[in-house]
Amino acid sequence: MWSWVGHRITGVVIFVFLLVHVLDTSLVRVSPEAYTAVIGAYKNPIMGLGEAALVAAIVFHAFNGLRIIAIDFWKKGPKYQRQMLWTVLIAWVVVMVPFLIRHLSIVFGGH
């Protein structure tokens, strides 16, 4: 049940970000200065943490989505759904730890 709640919440968060992300990328059609100025606003520690949270949401939604597919299409999927949830959470940690080390050292590394 909580994986279902989490899937819906992360889904909506990702969708809202996607709407904004297409709009900010569309500024390349306005001028190089407009795009670079707005993207420059993303390059601070607070937005860096926001990106980390966004990627955390995407990775959970991706892996739990694969679990939903396995539950729907694999004969033994419903039986093993709880074990697969633990697999999702472990895989999430395994992906997020190297991502956070790399991304946060870029964000807080200074340039």
In the complex, the residues that contact other proteins under the rule CB under 8 A are 1, 5, 8, 11-12, 14-15, 18-19, 22-23, 25-26, 28-29, 31-33, 35-36, 39, 42-43, 48, 51, 55, 58, 62, 65-66, 68-69, 72-73, 99, 102-103, 106-107, 111
Residue 107 to residue 5: CA distance in whole angstroms: 30
Nearest approach, Cβ of residue 86 and other proteins (Å): 18
Nearest approach, Cβ of residue 100 and other proteins (Å): 11
> Residue 60: which of 83, 23, 90 has the closest Cα?
90
Residue 105 to residue 58: CA distance in whole angstroms: 20
Residue 82 to residue 28: CA distance in whole angstroms: 45
Nearest to other proteins of 8, 82 (CB atom): 8
Nearest approach, Cβ of residue 83 and other proteins (Å): 19
Burial class (CB in 10 A: 0-12, 13-18, 19+), 80: middle
Nearest to other proteins of 18, 94 (CB atom): 18
